[in-house]
Structure formats: structure tokens, C-alpha cells
């Protein structure tokens, strides 16, 4: 069965600094990988996905993610964090059962 | 519709009462998923519908929970004899025939059992 690990419950970063939110995965076959963001009192919003092709995927709101097959990782990155990026971030992998398996989430706190 | 619509957005109910939560998926999305999210926590899978196939009910926490979907349209999640531990946000998502396309989530129903 597939699995996703987000090793950090919370990431703190100062506004203007680069941010990284970590994700590692385990799945049979080629991975389909996703990042979602959840703002307070909202549902999850799609940020970006990797299916195939370039290992660096660009998404919404200036976010990007780097697929690393050898390390089975799909870390979310942004060159310059904004206070408005503060939210809960979920990594997910598509696998058996025709469903997405989600990580436990990482809370990103960007301080002014 | 343009997005996944859930109703009500908020529901306060007394312990022991039954509640029904509704999800209206994106038109053409054959797959529909229900998740539960306790405050500040991750997503807990509840149930998955795919077209007219038998649903995957493996995530339902107890027999007080049930869900229905007619064809590829609206789904209702029913919680009978609600308990305080049922308090959570219930999220619905839909996708094209396979989750590999990604999910579109609704805004959720916040259930509070008092």
C-alpha cells in the first residue's frame, strides 16, 4: 500500500525567506504526486501535481515542488515566503484503490 | 456546477440526534470521496464512490455512519445517534473517473455535537 510522510508538523519561516515543506512517499509504480493547501475554515485547494516530465513542477501562488525519484521525495518550495502563505499543507500520492493517500499535513507559519 | 458544493456549511446538533450532510460534486465527476478532519488535524478517509460500483466503505468508523449516492450525482453522509467525538469538519471531494487527476474539494460542513 502507498504512504506519504510529512515529517514536520510545523514549519516556521520569516517573510521574504525561502521555504521548504518536506514530503516523502512510498508507492508501487510511477508516482502521481500532489500538493494541496488549506486556509482556515476552508476546504483543500490544489496547488500543483507531478505526473511525468520535468522534475521541477510549478504551481499556484508561486509555489513549486521538486520530484526526486532516488530519494522518493516531493518537497514543496517557494523562493520568498509571504505572511499570506500561512496555512496547512498536504502532500498526496495516487495509488491503489484509485484514491489519493494524504500525508498528515504541515502547518506553515510565516512571520512578518 | 462549477465546484463541489456542501451543505450545510455549519451544523450544531444535540447528542443523540441524527444528521445528514450533503455533497453536490462537479458535473461529470464520477468519483466522490468523504473525509473527516478533526480540528487542526489531517484527513481521515471515510468512504469512496465510483460511478455505479459498490462503494469503498472501509473508512467508516462505526455503523452509525452511512452514505449514499445516486448514480454520479449528489451524495449524503448520515450520522445516526451523534456523539461528541463526531464533532469535526466533514469534507467532500470529487474527481474524474480516477483520483490520478486530483481531487476538487468542497468547503466542508463543520459539525458540532453538543
pLDDT for position A29:
86
CA distances from A4 to A27, B51, B78 (A): 9, 27, 29
Answer with the residue of higher pLDDT: B114 or A52.
Answer: B114
pLDDT for position B1:
55
User: Mind listing the pLDDT tens digit for each residue in B34-47?
Assistant: 999 998 788 999 99
Mean pLDDT in residue range A77-101: 93
Domain boundary assignment for chain B: 5-113
CATH number of residue A75's parent domain? 2.60.40.10
E strand or H helix that includes residue B37 = strand B31-37
C-alpha cell of residue A41: 475554515
Do B107 and B7 meet the contact criterion of CB atoms below 8 Å apart?
Answer: no
Task: Select B5-113's CATH number: 3.40.50.10160, 3.30.1330.90, 2.60.40.10, 2.40.110.10.
Answer: 2.60.40.10
The reply to whether residue B48 touches residue A99, judged by beta carbons under 8 angstroms, is yes
pLDDT for position B52:
85
pLDDT for position A96:
77
Mean pLDDT estimate for chain B: 93
Mean pLDDT in residue range A75-88: 97
E strand residue ranges, chain A: 3-5, 10-14, 19-21, 24-26, 32-38, 44-50, 56-58, 64-68, 73-78, 87-95, 99-102, 106-111
Mean pLDDT in residue range B19-41: 93
Identify residues of B whose CB sits under 8 angstroms from chain A CBs: 4, 6, 31, 33, 40-43, 45, 48, 50, 56, 91, 93, 98-100, 102-108, 110
User: Mind listing the pLDDT tens digit for each residue in B75-108?
Assistant: 999 999 999 999 999 999 999 877 778 899 999 9
Q: Looking at CA atoms only, how far is residue B58 from chain A in angstroms?
A: 11
User: What residues make up the domain containing A60?
Assistant: 3-111
How many domains, chain A?
Answer: 1
Which of B39, B44, B40, B92 lies closest to A102, judged by CA?
B44
- Does residue A97 register a pLDDT over 90? no
A96–B contact, CB cutoff 8 A: no
Amino acid at each position: 500500500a502507498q504512504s506519504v510522510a510529512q515529517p514536520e508538523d510545523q514549519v516556521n519561516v520569516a517573510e521574504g525567506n525561502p521555504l521548504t515543506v518536506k514530503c516523502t512517499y512510498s508507492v508501487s509504480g510511477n508516482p502521481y504526486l500532489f500538493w494541496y493547501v488549506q486556509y482556515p475554515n476552508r476546504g483543500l485547494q490544489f496547488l500543483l501535481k507531478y505526473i511525468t516530465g520535468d522534475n521541477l513542477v510549478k504551481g499556484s501562488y508561486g509555489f513549486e515542488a521538486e520530484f526526486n525519484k532516488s530519494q522518493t521525495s516531493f518537497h514543496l518550495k517557494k523562493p520568498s515566503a509571504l505572511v499570506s502563505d500561512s496555512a496547512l499543507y498536504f502532500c498526496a500520492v495516487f495509488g491503489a484503490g484509485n484514491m489519493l493517500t494524504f500525508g498528515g499535513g504541515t502547518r506553515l507559519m510565516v512571520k512578518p | 456546477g462549477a465546484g463541489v458544493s456542501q451543505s450545510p456549511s455549519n451544523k450544531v446538533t444535540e447528542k443523540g440526534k441524527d444528521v445528514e450532510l450533503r455533497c453536490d460534486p462537479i458535473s461529470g465527476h464520477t468519483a466522490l470521496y468523504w473525509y473527516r478532519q478533526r480540528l487542526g488535524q489531517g484527513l481521515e478517509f471515510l468512504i469512496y464512490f465510483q460511478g455505479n460500483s459498490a462503494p469503498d466503505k472501509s473508512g467508516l468508523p462505526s455503523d452509525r455512519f452511512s452514505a449514499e449516492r445516486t448514480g454520479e450525482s449528489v451524495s449524503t453522509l448520515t450520522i445516526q445517534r451523534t456523539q461528541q467525538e463526531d464533532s469535526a469538519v466533514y469534507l467532500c471531494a470529487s474527481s474524474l473517473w480516477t483520483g490520478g487527476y486530483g481531487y476538487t474539494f468542497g468547503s466542508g460542513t463543520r459539525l458540532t455535537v453538543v
